[in-house]
Structure 1
């Protein structure tokens, strides 16, 4: 067994760099620090993030701002009803000069892909993302092409009730580490948006990169070195298991859900500058990780109960590890 090389960055350095990225993004996206922190946690945990909200609430702007601040190559794919899988993956095109077929890469070959309005395209095209998101590769006409590292998808979606949308398949929803909603801004925040636009005197806003692709990989590697205590891991499993046994649930969170909960909580701990996970880290990310993995029984569709209500219930019911059980946490005398 070979030892892993020591990470090039410390926990404190990663936390400082995260704060710089968030500060940069907040110059474009006003008043959403908590939601933006969760998005960045998803990226640091090597995952993909679904931003679901009504139009005009900053989803696309947030994705572009993260790409610029993280120094990643950025590509946007507009998911329309006539979008084909080959429009994402690329295709073989005949080169008349060379007398042979050559592969022309699609928008998936990038560092950060903005899958804009992903639920406006039919399920067949939505499913074309699955291999790329899970395997970090695409297969075209039997030939496999690896994607760049790092590779992340930030997908935006309008609520299912919104006109002209298709529900995302459960298999694809489960591939998103987090689902996050920004919500409407306060009046002061909305005024700040207007004020900044007038002061900027232009529509586009360009953010200076805080790091680059190699730097992001280093940050992700630091997070991989953070240990996870047994009690925290069992707490994640207990929460996911409890969603499966809730009386209102048809399909609860799978083991992928408990794994996502642990990985995101670990990233959240590092963002906070700690080398250990607390139950509060798990609770903070629980809704973003678990809500979209829960299907309510059909007879309850007309009720107010949804995935968020189930997660709120299991957070209240499942026993929380005490501070003394979490070995990495500081102990009181």
Structure 2
């Protein structure tokens, strides 16, 4: 924290610093915790009516009364990352979007509106990289109209926790009643260590998704649109470990330049803890290396402890959190 020459803690931030990454210390209210102080680091997304809102890396907004501040300062826009390949948020967001391509899209300024009959939010949400070319309220009205014409709820995909992410947009959406419905993390890592994990014996790779693969995927009655989304991407591979009645394990990989994405890794519950997920990832990683990729990314839920342990052991680390905000039920909220 900021300490003056006299050894006192000081608050060195003001409302003019909204949008910057800050670190603050506040005095806890009586009975709030056993600790006297609480430290919070994140982006200062508002400072109104005597209350600060700081958006943490996870996307959580922390409300702090101005009167409780003990110290505060501006800190670097993003912490130094010690693991994983170097990559900007924008690069990863665009690569991730190409791995789950919509069947229909339209530009709204620099925003991309994406739709695929509702199959996966990644292909049915706005990717707001840049300026929509109009005030936010007008942009959100246009977004809701576009999705409404397609019989779909409006979602906006945002991110927090890295340089160039969208904490300010998250705060503005929440102020307008948009609900953060889904939060996960995008992790990155080197591709070669994944390929070296196991031989991947028995893993069958294919360019096409078949009925056996879909039976393990666990989504019933997928439409032709859903199958198009699954097969989309610059270079798509499906991995299958054959089983008696259904595949013992499956996975999907999209190779895109230096990046390979891993998704849809599913294992028969009766055959877990036998290294099948590792075998699937290793086989896909070797194929991606053959196509010139060197880095990998994947998406993992915060509460999926088994997956997080597996990916950590392979050298992956969180790059940023991403969120899907759903339009408010009251159609007049953002107009």
**Which structure has greater strand proportion?**
2
User: TM-score scaled to structure 2, two decimals?
Assistant: 0.25
User: TM-score scaled to structure 1, two decimals?
Assistant: 0.25
Which of 1 and 2 has higher RCO (CA within 8 Å, sep 6+)?
1
